[in-house]
Structure 1
Amino acid sequence: MPVTVLTVPGLGSSGPLHWQSLWEQHYGYSRVEQQEWEAPVCADWVQGLEQAVQAAAGPVVLVAHSLACSTIAYWARQHSTGPVRAALLVAPADTEQADFPAQAVGFAPMPLHQLPFPSIVVASSTDEYVPLARAAHFARAWGSRFVEAGALGHINSASALGLWPQGHVLLQELLRDVG
């Protein structure tokens, strides 16, 4: 059975120039939609992710950005993760930072337990939402392979990555291992 790739955007969703949106258009991946993108509640996002995973046919690989990384960690602690075979966790936002957006509720403390599926954490040395050392700490706690992507900011639309081929290579590694 073919693998379903679900993109899981962060706060505000991913705009039209974000690599997640471009991957959806170019490769045909599906997006996990949330009811509230601007003032998210963790429990609601976890439930939205659960609904998307359960609705997917066959095995699932998740591709998360920013706040969605902690959403996946919370989800994995609360639900059966059987359909999910792997996750690419890009630019995990540190929900414990003093300047973390107040409109995002219930995402702290940062979940720090081993994920029950293979994962790769990708972080930038110039990400304003998580210091590189902190992202590496998340990767260790989650049991993830850690990849430093260089000076790419928050690895979002402002980073102007287009289809972000380097990220897609990492996703292909996960997909190969699942297949």
Structure 2
Amino acid sequence: MIKYFTLPGYGNSGPEHWQTYFEQKLDNCHRIEQDSWDKPVLEDWLTRIEEVLQHEDLSNTILITHSLGGITLAHWIAKYKRTIKGALIVAPPDIENPHEDFGVHTFLPLPLNALPFKSIVAYSTNDVWCAKERALFFAKQWGSSIVEIGEAGHVNDAAGYGAWPDGLELLKTLV
């Protein structure tokens, strides 16, 4: 049986966010909670992911990331050399070129190693946190399939991505 884990980004994903919607719609979907969503420290986030997933059957595990959660996933794979069934990486931010400083310097440098599993990078053409060219660069480096979802901002609840049925359909392609 497939088990899903959401990995939100900076600030967590609120009750109207599409990740919360996914958690409600999918059987076996759980959020990986972090101690500090607003002052993220890479090593703390990686340790938490490892704690949560270390006893899971990773061959049947899919991670669903948003924003900084996608960068964290790439770091976790690089550090722990894990292989999962797949990952949906939505709106990865370009923290090397941020439009605003949110103190995520511990997440640099960006990991650009190929991911050893099927992955999809879904990006928006008008995301203030990541230009289209950088999203395409990340996807290429990670060996991910690419899905452009149009002008969707940062693909969060503020941009109208609460219930996101198209996202659930996209997720099905990993299964």
TM (norm. structure 1) is 0.91
Q: Deviations over 1:118-166 (max 9, x none)?
A: 1000000010100011000000000000111000000001121232111
Stretches of structure 1 lacking an aligned partner (at least 5 in a row): none
Q: Which residue of 1 aligns with 2:136?
A: 136
Give the paired residue count: 173
| Corresponding residue SS for 1:174 | coil
CA separation in 2, counterparts of 1:73 and 1:162? 25
1:69 counterpart residue number = 70
Residue in structure 1 matched with residue 12 of structure 2 by the alignment? 13
Deviations 1:14-64 (A, max 9, x none): 000000011112224100111110000011111111112124356210000
Distance in structure 1 (CA, Å) of the matches to 2:33 and 2:101: 20
Contact residue 87 and residue 118 of structure 1 kept, 8 A: yes
Q: For residue 5 of structure 2, what is the amino acid of its counterpart?
A: L
Please give the residue correspondences for 1:31-50 in structure 2 after superposition, counting only pairs within 5 Å: 31-50=31-50
SS of alignment partner, residue 12 of structure 1: coil
- CA displacement 1:56-81 (0-9 Å, x = unmatched): 35621000000011100010011131
Partner of 1:120, secondary structure, is strand
1:11-160 to structure 2, matched below 5 A, reads 11-28=10-27, 29-57=29-57, 59-82=60-83, 84-160=84-160
Aligned-residue Cα RMSD (Å) equals: 1.4
d(CA) in 2 for partners of 1:103 and 1:80? 26
Instruction: Indicate conservation of the 8 Å contact 1:13/1:37, yes or no.
Output: yes
State the secondary structure of the residue aligned to 1:43. helix
Structure 2: distance between partners of 1:173 and 1:101: 35
Equivalent-residue separation in structure 1 for 2:61 and 2:112 (angstroms)? 22
Distance of 2:14 and 2:5 partners within structure 1 = 16
TM-score normalised by length of structure 2: 0.93
Distance 2:45 2:54 in 1: 14
Identity %: 40
CA contact under 8 A between 1:38 and 1:103: conserved in structure 2?
no
Give the whole-Å Cα distance in 2 for the aligned partners of 1:99 and 1:55. 38
8 A Cα contact 2:112 2:138, kept in partner: yes
